[in-house]
Chain A
Amino acid sequence: QTPWKLVIHGGAGVIERERISKEQDSDIRAALTRALDAGSKVLAGGGEAIDAVEAAVKVLEDDPHFNAGKGAVYTYEGKNELDAAIMRGDTRAAGAVAGINGTRNPIEAARAVMEKSPHVMLIGEGANIFSREQGLTQVTPDYYETPERKRQLEELKANKLSWFDVDMKYG
């Protein structure tokens, strides 16, 4: 047997100690740990890598500290447009969605594209329809909202900053 491994990320950018409170630091580390635990549980039980990465990403999508799922950033129009992709190394099967909203966990939609369609990428309203047809959990637009993301959009609009200036935690 191969020793199993799992690596996760929750975004990169100008992340400095003086810009993150102790509470935020603690919450973020706890969320990362939960994501590792979710993926590790799959792998330690002999499960597949594809199931482990989906499980880990879903934890991070559900946590408002990260720019994915709940807590995703706003478009200029004040909406959330979510993107996700998944790929397995044994068959190189892959699935992706772009510009979707309404699906609670976009990574589930990407996996459904990979496994339940002959395609690799679906976008926009078509991808939303596909997600609903696959029976994936749907949410209303307010599910994704967080006060911090609203503040960031307002700051961008008020200061006419470039896209990359507001938060510098990329996606």
Chain B
Amino acid sequence: TVGAVALDAKGHVAAATSTGGVTGKRWGRVGDAPIIGAGTYADDRACAVSATGAGEYFIRAGVAHEICARMRLKGESAKAAADAVIADVGQLGGTGGVIVVSPKGETIYSFNTPGMYRGMASADGKSVGIYGDE
């Protein structure tokens, strides 16, 4: 799964996610990526989220919307909200990660897997990472 979230100069956020799903899927299986609110969500009042992971768990946790809702209604930071929701996914037995950007300019990764292909950019520069300890 691949994805991107962005904050533009006008203060608007957006999210996009694209995937092939899981190897050997059958019966028309669909994961979280195209489910608005599970794998993808954007709301200028809170944040934009794109997820990658074991899709069924992300659907059950409503991951992307849940992160935005925690930020909007509880006033949590992007990091606190994302870590809490990924922890919840872990409690259910799922693994994966999210990327988040907020209108305030917060940019975070949160994942409970050993690694995640990822990158971040701003006017100050850019960085990419693969392994968990980078």
Residues in A lying within 8 Å of B, measured CB to CB: 1-17, 20, 25, 28-29, 32-33, 35-37, 39-40, 43-44, 46-50, 52-54, 56-57, 60-61, 66-69, 71-77, 80-90, 92, 94, 96-99, 105-107, 110, 120-121, 123-124, 144, 149, 152-153, 156-157, 163-164, 166-168, 170-171
Given A7-B118, A25-B130, also A167-B21 (CB < 8 A): no
Interface residues on B, range: 35 or more
Whole-angstrom distance between the Cβ of B12 and the nearest chain A Cβ = 4
Whole-angstrom distance between the Cβ of A104 and the nearest chain B Cβ = 11
Main secondary structure of the interface of A (DSSP, over half): mixed
Cα separation A6 to B17 with both chains bound (whole Å): 14
- In the complex, the answer to whether B22 meets A163 with C-beta atoms within 8 Å is yes
B101 at interface, CB cutoff 8 A: yes
Given A12-B117, A14-B115, A68-B19, also A76-B24 (CB < 8 A): yes
- In the complex, the answer to whether B1 meets A121 with C-beta atoms within 8 Å is no
B33 at interface, CB cutoff 8 A: yes
- In the complex, the answer to whether B18 meets A106 with C-beta atoms within 8 Å is yes
Given A68-B19, A80-B20, also A57-B4 (CB < 8 A): yes
Cα separation A46 to B10 with both chains bound (whole Å): 8
Cα separation A86 to B41 with both chains bound (whole Å): 8
- In the complex, the answer to whether B6 meets A86 with C-beta atoms within 8 Å is no
Contacts of A90 in B (CB 8 A): 12, 44
Whole-angstrom distance between the Cβ of B35 and the nearest chain A Cβ = 7
Residues of B83-125 at the interface with A, using a CB-CB cut-off of 8 Å, are 95-97, 99-101, 103, 105, 107-109, 111, 113-123
Contacts of A171 in B (CB 8 A): 1, 19-22, 31, 33, 52, 55
